[in-house]
Amino acid sequence: MISDFNDFDKLFADTFGDIDRTTLSSIYENRLRLELGADESGLNRIEQAIGRTMQFLQYCFQEMPVWLRLILWSEAEEKNLEQAGLIIRHADIAFRQENAEYVVLYLNFKKVSEPVRSVITSIINYEMAEEPSANLTCYFINFEKPVIINVYDDRGMDIYSPDKRVMDEIFNKFSTWRIKD
């Protein structure tokens, strides 16, 4: 059972290895990059990116719990997330880690739901200069499957799993969204 960030970090390292905690782009093996908002522009692009992300997260998590590891890059971001609809106390498990440069929130939800959608909306809106938005990095994590998803902006997301079978399954299902590195 995860009860604090030390428990989380131990399970994370045991499951995924010693990988970068801020980006998946430096991983070359068992990583896939998918396109989110390519077919549209403006607000339609945002809607497509949010819709594709939700479809993908529903596929990966189904009815399983989802962990969010959110790096908030400024003091204002927690309030920005609240304005987007994320109520931290509604998480099934929530704790934080603070340092001089940023705050890390660890949130667990029983399944992908509206609070998760509000985080996705905040990420995608940030790069498109729309509101509500927040400057953050979020890993959507499933320890059971095991898989990590990092939506980096309206252009796309990176997916990583140490299990090649998981990555093959995702690749086969979402190959038409693939971005070639």
Q: For the chain of 181 residues, list the mean pLDDT of each consecutive stretch of 10.
A: 94 97 94 89 91 95 95 94 94 94 96 93 94 96 96 94 97 92 68
pTM of the predicted protein model: 0.95
* CA gap 40, 83 in Å, rounded: 26
Cβ count near 39 (within 10 Å) = 11
Residue 150: both structure tokens together: 């990092």
pLDDT at 127: 87
Contact call for residues 142 and 61 (beta carbons, < 8 A): yes
CB atoms within 10 A of CB 178: 14
144/137 Cα distance (integer angstroms): 22
Q: What is the pLDDT of residue 21?
A: 94
Sign of CA dihedral 170, 171, 173, 175: positive
* pLDDT of amino acid 86: 95
Note the pLDDT tens digit of each residue in 31-71: 999 999 887 788 899 999 999 999 999 999 999 999 999 99
Q: Give the pLDDT confidence score for residue 37 in this predicted structure.
A: 87
Amino acid identity, position 109? F
First to last CA, the chain: 37
Residue 40 is predicted with a pLDDT of: 79
The pLDDT > 90 percentage for the chain reads: 88
Query: What is residue 41's predicted lDDT score, i.e. its pLDDT?
Result: 85
